[in-house]
Amino acid sequence: MQQEYLDVVDIFDHVIDKRPRPEIHANGLRHRAVHILVFNDQNQIFLQKRSMKKDLNRGLWDTSAAGHVDSGENYASCAPRELMEELGVSAVLESLFKLDARPELGMEFIQVFRCRHNGPFELAIDEIDEGAWLSLEALDQRIAENDASLTETFKIIWRTYRAL
């Protein structure tokens, strides 16, 4: 398997180095990621349940699609790639907001996008165990209850999204 390299960034999100993914996580280095919120025509959001094979947040529910920005890649090119890799679809993506890297976010600068798609999806079997559509009200309730089956990153993203 090919080694995945990510850019290491400073507090201003400027590239300062390039390292293998495991080294970045092990050393808590700042790096970049994208998260995509997919909504359907019934104004529901699609959530993915992370694979039990993942090294982080196994079996937890997360944003519709997400992933690391590869070394040399930017947020805008990473988001459609991740949408295709994880859900097997393409869609017009809208950039929403960016979260600064901090420990609660795994030291990731996160650019959040949204799109509209009704599926069906072709879930990446190594990445996702299952997916589900959820009403915004049901998700708001789960977030308010600090549902432990949701990733902490997703909770932060959703709270930020709803505050907009």
- The model's confidence at residue 3, banded by pLDDT at 50, 70 and 90, is confident
Residue 1 has pLDDT above 80, yes or no: no
- CATH for 49: 3.90.79.10
pLDDT at res. 53: 80
Quote the pTM value.
Answer: 0.94
In the chain, what are the helix, strand and coil shares in percent, each to the nearest 5? 25, 35, 40
pLDDT at res. 59: 85
* 3-state DSSP assignment of residue 42: coil
How far apart CA 110 and CA 126 sit, in angstroms, is 22
What does the block give as tokens for 102?
Answer: 């901090």
Quick: pLDDT tens for 39-77: 999 999 999 999 878 767 778 999 999 999 999 999 999
Taking phi over 0 as left and psi of -120 to 50 as alpha, with beta for the rest, 112 belongs to beta
- The model's confidence at residue 133, banded by pLDDT at 50, 70 and 90, is very high
Report the chain's mean pLDDT, rounded to a whole number. 95
- What's the total number of domains in the chain? 1
Residue 95 domain boundaries: 5-163
CB 132 within 8 A of CB 47: yes
